[in-house]
């Protein structure tokens, strides 16, 4: 009888399926990993025959110790989770994480010629489970590596909230003297279409061959395996659930592209912070700060806004140029007056900032009376082109480190490249 890890041919009434047998928690289902990398479940009642094609050949993995080369820069890889440093165990079906320098180099041997690699685990978790405390944890671990004298840092991260973490680190790490690049993978390492290697190697190439000294994200530029982007930490957003080129720059251009075949770096813009011998300052986000995001939508009711009483900050994803339903125009819109009065009362104690629900473009709250009325009661954000996610992170960070009056002044002041001085037409859907 074939066992997990064996290659099998499964015959059903309608088709033949070949792949690697995986363990199943359901006794009525047989799971097979196809050559495409996808798993498929087949009901046992439909199976006519399971034929052994090839037994699993157990190989004892030997990983030799590595010696650092004085001629190469040193890069620390700090792992927080995700699929990028994982390997499939075909006996158990589990994806096993690999974190030591030797294991990383055995998976990505190209790194040996780019830099000396140091690698360790910070925390292993799904990115959607991260909280402000984890941003501070990552920042402190980055500080430790900087003290050790490394030339750059790569943070491996799950893609779902990587743009939140990138923005948080950009604000928390003040006077950053070296590059910190966040890297993820949209496709797991057991799939032929995995983007893990290209993203990680491209980040290392950029660190080793540039004078860049900011937080950034390195992910695929397109669906193919030819080019990766270096993307700004505070101007980037995940725009697709599964595409490898899901991370896109918003209202700006990427910093650079890396050709994954030739290893060439093409700088697109040079208005980034350069490496200097500066003293790193860490300004963490308070773990108990209460900030929320509310999307403006038709038929909103005032009681929703009342739920944010006692919050330190609120980001509203406004419609159009920065609006929310506050105008009473007929007998059906009486609730809008309640919304306006609730917002007015809420803004006395809670800092409320508008962000563009459209994602692209700049808020213009002076154009219509709706925006002007909102500003009159203390709603901030006019002229901002920050994404809602960056607005949320920046507001939490400001409230953690500055007095309320200073927060009101700084929220629409460019501190980490989060606000565009000018938005070029060619940045839309770049």
Catalytic residues, by residue number, are: 83, 159-160, 238
Local structure of residue 266 (DSSP, 8 states): E
Contact 207, 229 (CB under 8 A): no
Q: Which of 44, 429, 45 is nearest to 252 (CA)?
A: 429
**Burial grade of 228 (CB within 10 A; 0-12, 13-18, 19 or more):** buried
**Burial grade of 107 (CB within 10 A; 0-12, 13-18, 19 or more):** middle
> Please, what is the angle between helix 162-172 and helix 132-147, to 10°?
60
Give, in degrees to the nearest 5, the angle at Cα 213 between 200 and 138. Answer: 65
Helix (H) or strand (E) holding 40: strand 39-43
Q: 6: number of CA atoms within 13 Å, CB side?
A: 14
Local structure of residue 108 (DSSP, 8 states): -
Question: What CA–CA distance (Å, rounded) separates 406 from 416?
Answer: 17
Identify the bridge partners of residue 41 per DSSP, sorted by sequence position: 31
Question: What CA–CA distance (Å, rounded) separates 201 from 115?
Answer: 10
Give, in degrees to the nearest 5, the angle at Cα 345 between 342 and 350. Answer: 105
Question: What CA–CA distance (Å, rounded) separates 259 from 184?
Answer: 17
158 three-class SS: coil
Contact 279, 317 (CB under 8 A): no
């Amino acid at each position: 009888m074939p066992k997990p890890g064996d290659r099998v041919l499964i015959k059903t009434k309608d088709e033949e399926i070949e792949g690697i047998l995986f363990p199943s928690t359901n006794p009525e289902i047989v799971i097979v990993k196809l050559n495409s990398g996808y798993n498929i479940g087949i009901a046992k009642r439909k199976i006519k025959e399971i034929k052994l094609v090839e037994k699993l050949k157990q190989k004892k993995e030997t990983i030799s110790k590595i010696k650092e080369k004085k001629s190469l820069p040193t890069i620390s890889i700090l792992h927080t989770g995700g699929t990028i440093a994982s390997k499939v165990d075909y006996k158990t079906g589990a994806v096993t994480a690999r974190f030591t320098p030797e294991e990383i180099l055995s998976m990505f041997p190209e790194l040996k010629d780019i830099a000396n690699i140091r690698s360790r685990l910070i925390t292993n978790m799904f990115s959607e489970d991260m909280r402000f405390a984890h941003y501070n944890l990552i920042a402190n671990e980055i500080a430790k590596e900087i003290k050790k004298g490394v030339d750059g840092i790569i943070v491996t991260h799950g893609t779902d909230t990587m743009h939140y973490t990138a923005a948080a680190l950009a604000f928390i790490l003040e006077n950053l003297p070296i590059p910190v690049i966040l890297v993820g993978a949209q496709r797991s390492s057991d799939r032929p279409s995995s983007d893990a290697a290209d993203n990680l190697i491209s980040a290392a190439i950029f660190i080793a061959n540039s004078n860049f000294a900011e937080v950034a994200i390195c992910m695929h530029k397109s669906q193919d395996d030819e080019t990766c982007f270096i993307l700004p930490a505070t101007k980037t957003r995940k725009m697709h659930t599964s595409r490898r080129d899901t991370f896109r720059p918003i209202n700006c251009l990427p910093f650079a592209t890396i050709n994954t075949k030739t290893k060439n770096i093409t700088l697109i813009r040079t208005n980034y912070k350069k490496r200097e011998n500066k003293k790193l300052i860490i300004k963490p986000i308070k773990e108990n700060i209460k900030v929320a995001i509310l999307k403006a939508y038709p038929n909103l009711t005032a009681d929703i806004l009342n739920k944010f009483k006692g919050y330190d900050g609120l980001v509203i994803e406004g419609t159009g140029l920065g609006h929310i339903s506050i105008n009473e125009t007929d007998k059906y819109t009486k609730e809008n007056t309640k919304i306006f009065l609730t917002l007015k009362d809420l803004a006395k104690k809670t800092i409320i900032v508008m962000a563009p629900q459209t994602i692209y473009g700049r808020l213009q709250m002076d154009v219509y009376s709706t925006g002007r009325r909102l500003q009159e009661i203390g709603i901030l954000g006019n002229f901002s082109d920050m994404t809602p996610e960056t607005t949320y992170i920046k507001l939490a960070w400001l409230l953690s480190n500055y007095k309320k009056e200073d927060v009101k002044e700084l929220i629409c002041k460019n501190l980490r490249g989060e606000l565009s001085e000018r938005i070029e037409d060619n940045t839309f859907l770049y």
